A and B are shown apart, each in its own frame.
Chain A
Amino acid sequence: MQALPALLAAAGFAGCTGHIEFDDPAPGSGPRNTNPTPGGSPNGSPNGSPMPTPASLNPGRVVAHRLNNVEYDNTIRDLVGLDLKPSRTYGFPDDAYIDGFDNNADALTVPPLLLEKLETATDAIVTAALATDKSNAAVRARIMTCTPTASSEAACATQILSAFATRAYRRPVTADEVAGHAQLIGVAKSLGDGFEQGIAAGLRAILLSPRFLFRVEGNPGAGKTATLDDYELASRLSYFLWSSMPDASLFEVAAAGGLRDSATIAAQARRLLADSRSAALMDNLAGEWLGARELAVKEVTVPGVTFDDALRTAVAAEPSAFLGELFHGGHAVKELLGADFMFVNARLASHYGLSGAGALGGQSTLTRIAVSDSRRASGVLSQANTLTVTSMRDRTSPTRRGKWVSESLLCLVVPAPPPMIPPLDTQPTSTPMTARDRLAQHRAKGSSCAACHELIDPIGFGLEHFDAVGLWRDTDGGATIDATGVLPGTGAPFDGAASLAAVVAGDPRFLDCVVKKLMTYALGRTLVTAPPAGSPLDDRVVLSDIAGKLGSSDGRFDRLVELIVTSPAMTTRTGEEGGP
């Protein structure tokens, strides 16, 4: 193995070093042709730079954070009281995915196309919110809290607009900040319209303000670190756990200065997690981390399988329901890969071949059942969603499955393949061949390929008893399946899915990876775990602190949430110089 990197470099294959690294490459570092030392502890320093001491902890900062499409929809729902889903209705452009999540503050911008659509959406939202039909009475009354008389128009306008802006901007608003908005009454009058149209215009201006569309945090100044204020903290909490604005109760706690205290932060986090709005967290993690969003649009053409809408919907819903139980039911992180419960409806149970599927009735929502088939006891590794989204449209891909597990569960960096590789030969053969056999043949075409594939593929071989839609099979292509392999880096052996799941769950890199994924999502920025020399920011400090505390406690998902929300990376921010 040690000789291979040099061989690869000589062969000019910059894309595959033959070694899987444990840290993310620095952005813009170019094609990789360096050979980091193998092994090393996941949160240690494979590149040799010493970890900074906790005293020098730099929490980093998140740049002004535009509400992404999901957050925008949820915030409008909670602010106005109407679930209009404007990002879908008006076709907002898709958000960018960075580090696997679409809530990365650096990547979220407002191109002219999006602003056009925001303007159109805002018109519709305000019109709907102020509609005078009886069914809309509560929604309208929440905004129109006073009726103006001839002498009190200005005061009433200020009252309505500052109350709305306080909630929309997620912090108390001064009369100054809505003075211009109140003057829109005058514009309305000059156009022959009345108070109502003026208010509507003011509401539109509030909803198009960057104070609504962005979560902006104060600047402590260059070289300084400061705790976020209560309102900023409240927003970080609610957008982490609900992808939406704080509720009235959280606002009150913030207004009273309650979020200065870790115990209160943790208590609020528990309350928010228990609330039904935390479904957003489960849906986003399932969708982005566990691949359910991709499953929803993936082409599946496995012979003999009717992958219709009903099945697709059920398969895509399973990971979200599963995560919901993991977070709400006090389960340990390692149960992600080994649980005695699962979520099915009749259709999904039938797909899995579970007896008693009929008893689940015809509902489309998933119900929790005990795992009766031990082959489904490996958590996400035995779920149809994972197994289908990591397959090709009509056959399994051990390489893709190995890559997914390596990247998503162990946070390993799998190098890109070199360009121009010939496609895998999938033609039928006279002697029975499994996918594993075909891959061996494919790898034989170029020795440079073997180095990476020997690291990536084995995990996929461990899952080969599950076909391209996650159904169990004993043979593949007429031949017996060999599901043995070893984990990259540690060489820990496994045979089959359950054994693979146990080995991954017991690997310290797994816990670190889950911590890193959830932290990345919670913060909305890239975590720096391979800092260039002299970089002031090194997130390994905060990550290893959390992972250490999690590992030495009950290791539960809800504990992880508490550790994240009370960590300095969440509650403090470093400053920067003021701009030009």
Chain B
Amino acid sequence: MKMTTRALSRRALLRGAGVALGLPLLDAMVPILPTSRRARAQSAPAAKPLRLLVWTFPDGVRMNAWTPTATGANYTTPPILKPLDPFKSKMNVISGLANTPASVVSGDVFAGSHARATGAMLTQVPLVFTSGTNFKAGVSFDQIIANDLKVRVPSLRLPSLELGAVYAGATGNCEDGFSCAYLTNLAWSSPTTFLPKETNPKAVFDRLITGGLPTGGGTTNPPPPPSGDPTPSAAAKALAYRKSVLDLVAADTRSLAAKLGKADKAKLGDYLDSVNELERRVTAMSTSTPGPTTPSPTTPMTPAVASSCAAISTPKDGTYLGRDRTKNVYGYSELIATMNDLIAMAFTCDLTRVVTFMAEIPLNTQTNFSFLGVNSSNYHNDISHHGGDPAKLDAIQNVNTFYATQFAYLLDKLAKATDVDGSPVLDNCAIIFTSEFGDGDNHFHYDLPVVVAGRAGGAFATGRHIAYASTPDRGTGAIETARRADKPLANLYISIMQAFGLDVTTFGTVDGTTPYGTGPLAELRG
């Protein structure tokens, strides 16, 4: 069954995701799972816990210090990727991928190029030109995976986590009339709903530990007691109250909405979606959900994993700090490291399996890289627009290498942590390390810098430089806006979705009708 290019309605998906106890999962409610595959999921032993992470840094890369010259398994590591060398055998460098939907624009080819590149990065659709409230992209592929996990592994604490190291508003004109929504967010749960990022480490930590951390020897939360049991545990009671309260709120919302006009109804309908989603999570946290169509729960946490989780979730200095916009309590690299710690914790404790992280925001003028010895009071214009100046190119390379070092820190943690199935966490990961452009001066949406770290549970063969041919003409205008023959970034996403077990063969579009990604990257296969 093919994924259509029409974005999935989040509401349609959520309605089907077991809102009330005992609701069977009907075919129509789970459009992306064909019957045969669902049957496999029910009868197969617990599958490998695959984990998706997209880790981005902005404004492009000095490509001749990033792209290896040789292809295949024996490439010399280029300077920027040197910090990732310890993990060379566990990752692939992929070159020549294009983000053609991002190149669709009417008018000036440079107008909004960062916003288009970022907004289309995980959605792979052309964006609606606006800086008002009517912005529109598509469902991002990480959310397609997250929605599937809601059905297959409903006990996950969080369907997905959206993180950032830099605060940025998401409304108004950020770039040539394109909304900030496109520039400052990666994940979209519906074409018109981006998922706001958390940039406060304490808030992230609090969300991750709400309800307690997994303990060894069983499922994470005891079920609510059968009625009449005089001594239900505190956790069970809390869940029961939450369920009753949310039930009442949902009923209240429906009865209020019934009397209202169209626009008000839609507004309350969105609220109801959120209430239903929260209720779904609460229901899933109690393991007494009855019914033959309930998918198997996640592999119970073993003591070894529980202790790995406990170890990785203890913050370095005893506490995670709240981060107020008015005060930089963390230095920049310290903050990235802290967010990396939280990602490692979220994966190791199996609290979520889908994370997106923006280490900075494109077009940033916020972060001063003088701590790297780089002379820049304005990163974006001062150095990423190098104009061929050797000093600026060196500066860009310096900044790119900084991000690679931060990323390597996370890979190290993931390689050393034990996942719920006994493998190193990194083995089960598919992690995309990338920026929205290759060369930050010309802003082209092809020949993108992409590293994919992790073996995706064995679905990917690693340790290579996979190079796809990129159309040599680096011109603008007709080349930029025409459909290109370069290998779509969307195909990488199809590879990842398929590794997660989704029956997906197309993703994204350039013209609104024809699929853009039309299959997985065969070369990645393990």
Cβ of A113 and Cβ of B196 under 8 Å apart?
yes
Known: A115-B278, A219-B261. A90 touches B203 (CB 8 A): yes
Q: How far, in whole Å, are A210 and B167 apart by their CA atoms in the complex?
A: 29
Is A450 an interface residue, CB under 8 A from the partner? no
Is A261 an interface residue, CB under 8 A from the partner? no
Min C-beta distance of B203 to chain A, whole Å: 4
Is A184 an interface residue, CB under 8 A from the partner? yes
Is A356 an interface residue, CB under 8 A from the partner? no
Query: Can you name the residue of chain A whose Cβ is closest to the Cβ of B441?
Result: A420
Q: How far, in whole Å, are A437 and B245 apart by their CA atoms in the complex?
A: 65
Is A393 an interface residue, CB under 8 A from the partner? yes
Question: B residues 12-28 with Cβ under 8 Å of A?
Answer: none
Q: How far, in whole Å, are A359 and B242 apart by their CA atoms in the complex?
A: 57
For B167, what are the chain A residues with a Cβ–Cβ distance below 8 Å? 94
For A394, what are the chain B residues with a Cβ–Cβ distance below 8 Å? 377
Cβ of A191 and Cβ of B260 under 8 Å apart?
no
B-contact 0/1 string along A178-220, CB 8 Å cutoff: 0011001001101111000100010011001111011011110
For B290, what are the chain A residues with a Cβ–Cβ distance below 8 Å? none
Task: Identify which of B265-273, B300-308, B338-346 touches chain A.
Answer: B265-273
Is A30 an interface residue, CB under 8 A from the partner? yes
Question: A residues 3-32 with Cβ under 8 Å of B?
Answer: 12-15, 27-28, 30-31
Q: How far, in whole Å, are A289 and B62 apart by their CA atoms in the complex?
A: 41
Partner of B200, one of A91, A180, A213, A578: A91
For B162, what are the chain A residues with a Cβ–Cβ distance below 8 Å? 113
Partner of B274, one of A94, A98, A112, A219: A112
Q: How far, in whole Å, are A386 and B198 apart by their CA atoms in the complex?
A: 30
**Size range of the interface on B?**
35 or more
For B245, what are the chain A residues with a Cβ–Cβ distance below 8 Å? 184, 201, 204-205, 208
Task: Identify which of B1-9, B129-137, B459-467 touches chain A.
Answer: B129-137
Task: Identify which of B79-87, B224-232, B482-490 touches chain A.
Answer: B224-232
For A423, what are the chain B residues with a Cβ–Cβ distance below 8 Å? 378, 381-382, 385
Cβ of A191 and Cβ of B196 under 8 Å apart?
no
A-contact 0/1 string along B188-202, CB 8 Å cutoff: 000001011010101
Is B110 an interface residue, CB under 8 A from the partner? yes
Cβ of B259 and Cβ of A219 under 8 Å apart?
yes
Question: A residues 85-122 with Cβ under 8 Å of B?
Answer: 90-91, 93-94, 96-98, 104, 106-107, 109-116, 119-120
A-contact 0/1 string along B317-351, CB 8 Å cutoff: 00000100110000000000000000000000000
For B253, what are the chain A residues with a Cβ–Cβ distance below 8 Å? 209-210
Q: How far, in whole Å, are A93 and B274 apart by their CA atoms in the complex?
A: 15
Known: A30-B129, A112-B277, A575-B261. 15 other contacts (CB 8 A): A14-B108, A31-B177, A63-B263, A94-B169, A98-B132, A107-B133, A112-B274, A113-B195, A184-B244, A191-B232, A192-B232, A209-B249, A219-B259, A219-B264, A576-B262
| 14 A-B contact pairs sorted by A residue (CB < 8 Å) | A13-B108, A31-B177, A61-B261, A93-B196, A111-B274, A113-B198, A115-B278, A192-B231, A192-B232, A192-B237, A211-B252, A214-B268, A393-B377, A576-B261
Residues of B within 8 A of A (CB): 106-108, 110-113, 128-130, 132-134, 162, 167, 169-173, 175-177, 193, 195-196, 198, 200, 202-203, 206-207, 210, 227, 230-232, 237, 240-242, 244-246, 248-249, 251-253, 256-257, 259-268, 270-271, 274-275, 277-278, 322, 325-326, 366, 377-378, 381-382, 385, 443
Closest 9 CB pairs of A and B: A579-B265, A91-B203, A27-B132, A96-B171, A576-B261, A219-B261, A419-B110, A579-B262, A93-B196
